[in-house]
Structure 1
Amino acid sequence: MKSIKLSNGRTIAYSEAGSGQPIVVLHGYCGSHRYWDEVVPLLASRGRVIAPDLRGHGESSTGEGIYSMEALADDIAALLDELEIPKANLFGHSLGGYAALAFAEKYEERLAAFGLVHSTTYPDSEPAQANRLKAAETIRAEGVAAFVEGLIPKLFAPDHRASMPEKLKKAIEIGYETSPDGAIGCALGMRERPDRTAVLESLKVPVLLLAGELDEVIPPEKRFPVTKDNVTQILLPNVAHMGMVEDPKAFADAIHLFLDDSRG
């Protein structure tokens, strides 16, 4: 692990492997760079893979308040500045996808290619917004551990909760590393995020929409919000919301295929 102090005063921790074209992967809510442990070695044959811990997660710095998706995007832009990376292939998982969309809206010129992974352009529904508030209340009252123990199993396919006990355990343990302020701040930030379908529609770079067939978090009608010539839609069979963990080879193969196609 490495860490770097950004121009905004925050410290971002990240892992790095490989060399060549920059491939930045952003983890989901109550995750960390460790979500990508099995995927990074597979992607590192194609480029320089950078996996940051988002603000308030893993080993990155935290603080009180609402963590807007725009603020998370600014952290990533500042990290790329420090690493002297003008353009990157950016892939965001779930929460990381929401941050990546905010990045695409603000820093499109810094994208070589863009990917939404088990994520969506659509904002929270009213019930989902209510659940974000409930999540924040639960974390304040009971702590992060109790919250992630309830959350993380729902991210795996039902059969995988039984057949992948070690992977499920690891994902829960990664969740324990999320700071309470980070978990609350991101829950409230996700609650406030706007509809960014228009951002995806306007992007000129190659776009990957990667979804899990069994995902209970992102329903079918929200997985592929845009159909265009520069948009690749891939549905991974037999995985839910954690494709990079549930089937890392198929996940990495999908990204390899997309990157090969995007280079023409």
Structure 2
Amino acid sequence: MAPAPAAADPEPGMQYASCAASDGCALAFQTSLPVGPGATVLDARYAACVLLLHGFSGSSAYFARNCAALADDHWVVAPDMRGHGNSGRSRGGYHVARLAADLRTLVGFLRASCPSDDGQGAGEEGGGGKLQIVGVGCSIGAAVLWTYVELFGSADFSGFVFVDQAPLQDRSPFGDWDESRAHLGCYDEATMQAAQRAWIYDPGATHAELVRSCLGYRFAPDPSTDDISDEAWRADEEFFVSISKRCDQVWLARLLADHTRYDHREAIEDIAVPTLVMAGRRTGCFPLEGMKETVRRVETSRPGGARMSVFDSGHWLFYEEPERFNREVVEFVDSCTT
């Protein structure tokens, strides 16, 4: 195991804590409430946890505009996935399933540490205690939650929010999954290998291109509505690039190969809790039709169990439209947990 780079500071009102994965890798996370001995049963916010999962090459720092607002009435936990942010680095582990197993460890740790829970931890049929968790998965964070459902079921969660991610990145002959649904830039073996080479050999340009494709006002500018100064967009680029630079670029490239091929469509049909899909109209990652597939798949077994909300921004809609994102997440969490 390799240590993480120099630790980043938590967001205002948040604090860092950690637990150990099954292989010993340190899993860091930001929390709005104390865990362990510092926890108090007197705080009603422990009853409902908003679990924010960042995207590829990101960290919990992505949610700088969300944590404080969401923490007003809820417990907010934002992990740094293995290989990202303040979490540990491992030689292997560049698989979505490994990240899902890490999340399983974190869910058990939160249940055992929460004063409002029964301390049973996450089990095959769910923790069974008072703590209710709503998973909010952004980009690869959504893929981690879908893999969690495939491996462990959905009973550990009271609801899911999936943010700007289609259930399969690659184009596929199965289910007519073509350019109308697959990822716009990384969708087959050739484009995936090109992306891997870019992450490894030209990370600076790749980080900047990631920002251009993920911020709606950069990917699809709208002069009639966008009011972003050059200074502001440079600050945004520096913010996201600085987060991506903390990752091991070779490890990321190997994770990308697993992520882009992983087909989650059938697993989504096993979701048995309320689901909200958020998508950016100006995303540079997926067509809206691809993201609608999550709603369709949930409703094959649970009619009325999913709905979609389309934002006027890009892939990082939680950053571009934080007030709307925060409001809709709070409304959804309350509908799932009260």
Q: Write the distance in 1 (CA, Å) between the matches of 2:21 and 2:192.
A: 29
Counterpart among 154, 157, 160 of residue 111 in structure 1: 157
Residue 192 of structure 1: CA displacement? 2.8
Whether 2:74 is the aligned partner of 1:6: answer no
- Indicate if the aligned counterparts of 2:213 and 2:283 stay in contact, CA closer than 8 A: no
Whether 2:140 is the aligned partner of 1:95: answer yes
Whether 2:262 is the aligned partner of 1:193: answer yes
Whether 2:293 is the aligned partner of 1:247: answer no
Whether 2:103 is the aligned partner of 1:76: answer yes
Whether 2:213 is the aligned partner of 1:154: answer yes
SS in 2 for 1:168: helix
Tell me which residue corresponds to 2:76.
49
Q: Write the distance in 2 (CA, Å) between the matches of 1:23 and 1:78.
A: 16
Tell me which residue corresponds to 2:116.
none
Residue 11 of structure 1: CA displacement? 0.9
Tell me which residue corresponds to 1:231.
306
Q: Write the distance in 2 (CA, Å) between the matches of 1:120 and 1:51.
A: 22
Q: Write the distance in 1 (CA, Å) between the matches of 2:101 and 2:55.
A: 17
SS in 2 for 1:211: strand
**Normalised by the size of structure 1, how large is the TM-score?**
0.90
Q: Write the distance in 2 (CA, Å) between the matches of 1:139 and 1:198.
A: 30
Tell me which residue corresponds to 2:32.
17
* 1:70-109 Cα deviation digits (max 9, x unpaired): 1110011111222326352111100111111101222222
Tell me which residue corresponds to 1:207.
275
Residue 66 of structure 1: CA displacement? 6.2
Which AA in structure 1 matches 2:66?
Answer: V
Which AA in structure 2 matches 1:230?
Answer: G
Whether 2:134 is the aligned partner of 1:59: answer no
Residue 58 of structure 1: CA displacement? 1.1
Identity %: 21
Which AA in structure 2 matches 1:32?
Answer: S
Q: Write the distance in 1 (CA, Å) between the matches of 2:93 and 2:169.
A: 16
Q: Write the distance in 1 (CA, Å) between the matches of 2:20 and 2:162.
A: 27
Q: Write the distance in 2 (CA, Å) between the matches of 1:262 and 1:230.
A: 11
Residue 162 of structure 1: CA displacement? 5.0
- Indicate if the aligned counterparts of 1:217 and 1:241 stay in contact, CA closer than 8 A: yes
Tell me which residue corresponds to 1:259.
333
SS in 2 for 1:224: helix
Residue 15 of structure 1: CA displacement? 0.6
Counterpart among 209, 224, 236 of residue 167 in structure 1: 236
The structure with higher relative contact order (CA 8 Å, sep 6+) is 1
Q: Which runs of no fewer than 5 residues in structure 2 stay unpaired? A: 1-15, 34-44, 113-120, 122-126, 173-185
* 1:131-178 Cα deviation digits (max 9, x unpaired): 222222223323x33421222221111236954422232111111112
- Indicate if the aligned counterparts of 2:199 and 2:206 stay in contact, CA closer than 8 A: yes
Q: Write the distance in 1 (CA, Å) between the matches of 2:200 and 2:237.
A: 24
SS in 2 for 1:111: coil
Whether 2:197 is the aligned partner of 1:128: answer no
Residue 55 of structure 1: CA displacement? 1.5
- Length, aligned pairs only: 261
Tell me which residue corresponds to 2:284.
216
- Indicate if the aligned counterparts of 2:168 and 2:261 stay in contact, CA closer than 8 A: no
Residue 69 of structure 1: CA displacement? 1.3
Tell me which residue corresponds to 1:139.
199
- Indicate if the aligned counterparts of 2:199 and 2:250 stay in contact, CA closer than 8 A: no
Q: Write the distance in 2 (CA, Å) between the matches of 1:45 and 1:119.
A: 27
Residue 263 of structure 1: CA displacement? 3.8
Q: In terms of mean alpha carbon deviation, does 208-217 or 184-193 score higher?
A: 184-193
Which AA in structure 2 matches 1:100?
Answer: L
- Indicate if the aligned counterparts of 1:66 and 1:188 stay in contact, CA closer than 8 A: no
Q: Write the distance in 1 (CA, Å) between the matches of 2:24 and 2:92.
A: 16
Instruction: Please state which structure has a larger fraction of its residues in helix.
Output: 1
Distance 1:256 1:250, change over 3 A: same
Alignment of 1:31-50 (within 5 A): 31-50=58-77
- Indicate if the aligned counterparts of 1:64 and 1:185 stay in contact, CA closer than 8 A: no
Q: In terms of mean alpha carbon deviation, does 32-41 or 217-226 score higher?
A: 217-226
Which AA in structure 1 matches 2:251?
Answer: G
